[in-house]
Chains A and B, each alone.
Chain A
């Protein structure tokens, strides 16, 4: 069975066309754009209902059973029982560690998207696959980061999809990616001696390609503050899969 049929109940997978985007910190400054192969991405973030089904079937990922090295004490902390998330159930699940998010996607026969995949899809506005030079759109995505935390997390899929057909890349929750600590914690970076300087002050701007893309800045800062066992009330995830050859 095709993977995207398996998740049809949870939310359709969207076929993402291959393309390229401009990462904030390119691996090689001489090659500003990074190519991304076609793949499949959940149209919406994984919901509380989805995750409840997962922990019901996989007891070792229930709150009382999960080892501390795989999830910190905030894991599903707002749930009233091992498989009972708070309402409304069609909002993104948060309070999940990277390990748990990964396990969920594996359970579904999928995986977490890579940072490149996630960032590539996140550059699309409603009517353009690459809105990264659209000042009005950039300002709109940035606004969420400055909005009150009490605004809370809404239901998934309530806003218009972007040009890929994907919802909620901005404005609902932060999302885990497979290589969330790629940018600042890669071995090469650390050995290069700049790992620390990227984590404070404006030094991060020195090697950035587009210093006006503040929303991306904040996503990278956010990801680099994390460890795999961390959970936060504002961070969820969605799953991806390789495009099967016909």
Chain B
């Protein structure tokens, strides 16, 4: 934020007498400028929040003593549907509680190790100036509590984690979180603040193998993650748990990476970060697509949202997103902004590139005109069209993406009602649905731009692939649904 002030000051200097310009520092002065005197007033009990929530901004002009009570709890928690894991947590969730203080505050830290816990624990806060970041002073046996105090001399967003041997295992079991040290003047106001923290997990069983999965030390040493997750579990930021914002708002994400091993290539599909406080530092970089978040590091990103829809948060080391769970969602509500983004349009290049497929489709159209089209011809044509319009979300294998895009393969929802499925392709689908026992709450755009033949072929293909078996869908059936339903208001086509 300081560089913006600086830019404004420079601008003003060109237009107004220099005497009117207040000097703006090029530097915050680091820790040497972080002591604003002794704490004023009674100690304040820190409000701590679970991800994705962030405590409210600090409304204080003077340093205070802030008391943080953080309890370590070891507990079995789901990390994926039907998959449990023994998490070691700071405050009962992964990631741990979000702590928010002001630069210059004196933080009185109480670490409580629940009596039922099996392991000793401690905490290393990267915001601490002092050996071990508090770890040596907070080493705590089960059923005990330790206390230490530090002054938050440096502003910024910092990771904390357990540093008890073997450190890697404590971190791999979820022992990390974040502490924000606000600058004395506070952060620039925004409309939404969220807390997102990535971590990698190592289980004996394969990805999504059901049951209680033990930690696999060997995989951890080899850095061969089974899961890469935002906020400790698959689905913690999708469906009903998606982050929310409205068109026209400014969103700030505090993005941390607990590790223990992997560096994140953090990206939001369909957005550009207007500002990235790279590495959690003070001065922002602007107009960034993807930003690295180090293991044991954090960053702050801000962006305005102009177009409604669903934005997918990923680690753009992309197999982690689609094969290990590193997916989240930001749902933006509000009026369309077609000048910024038109919505989905059929891209003729897709079909044009698929020369053979074009021939198939033409042959089917001809056969259809002659009344001789076969189920096989329709399926072949449908497959070509599916590759162009549908596979981006539902995948060429029809499996979709768990928690985000519903499967078509073996889909009870799809096969239950042919007329409904025609309507969904024509008019799109918004809101919660249950497919094969899993809940989805995403947005499928209307595909009304496809003609009746094309939709008939696609649905015939889908209804006869990947274990599905059904009768053909005819162009007449599509025409009937098209004439009796309307595309939703505001749809792009």
Q: Which residues of A contact B (CB under 8 A)?
A: 72, 74, 139, 142-143, 145-150, 196-197, 199-202, 204-205, 214, 217-218, 220-222, 224-227, 230-234
Contact = CB atoms under 8 A, between A and B. Distances in A.
Given A148-B76, A201-B163, A224-B139, A214 B144 contact: no
B339 interface: no
Contacts of A196: 131-132, 136
A197 B131 CA distance: 9
A145 B122 CA distance: 17
Given A146-B169, A201-B132, A222-B119, 9 more contacts: A74-B143, A142-B217, A145-B118, A149-B116, A196-B136, A197-B131, A202-B165, A218-B166, A230-B144
Given A150-B76, A201-B132, A214-B169, A232 B215 contact: no
A204 B212 contact: no
Contacts of A201: 124, 132, 135, 163, 167
A97 to B, nearest CB: 11
Contact of A74 (B75, B115, B117, B140): B115
Q: Classify chain B's interface size.
A: 35 or more
A205 B165 CA distance: 9
Contacts of B306: none
A199 B115 contact: no
Contacts of B122: 199-200
A177 B214 CA distance: 28
13 contacts: A72-B143, A72-B144, A139-B217, A139-B218, A150-B116, A196-B132, A197-B132, A205-B165, A214-B166, A218-B119, A218-B165, A224-B139, A233-B143
B215 A200 contact: no
A146 B139 contact: no
Q: Which of B122, B163, B164, B169 has the most CB of A within 10 A?
A: B164
A234 B118 contact: yes
B263 to A, nearest CB: 18
B140 A225 contact: yes
Q: Which of B75, B76, B115, B212 has the most CB of A within 10 A?
A: B115
B86 interface: yes
Interface string B118-130: 1110101000000
A115 B141 CA distance: 18
Contacts of B116: 149-150, 233-234
B115 A220 contact: no
B74 interface: yes
A100 to B, nearest CB: 15
Contact of B142 (A202, A205, A220, A233): A233
B141 A226 contact: yes
Nearest to A135: B218
Nearest to A231: B143
Q: Which of A145, A149, A196 has the most CB of B within 10 A?
A: A149
A143 B116 CA distance: 18
Nearest to B132: A200
Contact of B119 (A143, A145, A205): A145
Nearest to A211: B166
A201 B204 CA distance: 25
Task: Identify the 10 closest CB pairs spanning chains A and B, nearest first.
Answer: A200-B135, A225-B120, A225-B141, A200-B163, A146-B215, A232-B142, A200-B132, A221-B165, A196-B136, A204-B165
B214 A146 contact: yes
A81 to B, nearest CB: 20
A230 B86 contact: no
Contacts of A149: 74-75, 86, 116-118
Contacts of B169: 146, 214
A197 B218 CA distance: 25
Contacts of A233: 115-116, 142-143
A232 B117 CA distance: 9
B165 A232 contact: no
Contacts of B75: 148-149
Nearest to B121: A225
Contacts of A74: 115, 143
Q: Which of B74, B136, B139, B165 has the most CB of A within 10 A?
A: B165
Nearest to B163: A200
B71 to A, nearest CB: 14
A68 to B, nearest CB: 14
B167 A202 contact: yes
A220 B217 CA distance: 18
Contacts of B124: 200-201
Contacts of A72: 143-144
Q: Which of B75, B118, B173 has the most CB of A within 10 A?
A: B118
Interface in B163-202: 163-169, 173
B115 A200 contact: no
Contacts of B143: 72, 74, 230-233
Nearest to B213: A146
Contacts of B163: 200-201
Q: Which of A196, A230, A232 has the most CB of B within 10 A?
A: A232
Interface in B194-247: 212, 214-215, 217-218
A139 B218 CA distance: 9
Given A146-B215, A232-B115, A222 B120 contact: yes
A139 B115 CA distance: 26
B105 to A, nearest CB: 23
A201 to B, nearest CB: 5
A201 B116 CA distance: 24
Q: Which of A72, A74, A218, A231 has the most CB of B within 10 A?
A: A218
A157 B165 CA distance: 29
B89 to A, nearest CB: 12
A199 B135 contact: yes
Nearest to B86: A148
Q: Which of B74, B135, B139, B143 has the most CB of A within 10 A?
A: B143
Q: Which of B115, B136, B141 has the most CB of A within 10 A?
A: B141
A204 B170 CA distance: 14
A139 B204 CA distance: 11
Contacts of A139: 217-218
Contact of B139 (A147, A200, A217): A200
A137 to B, nearest CB: 13
Contacts of A199: 122, 132, 135-136, 139
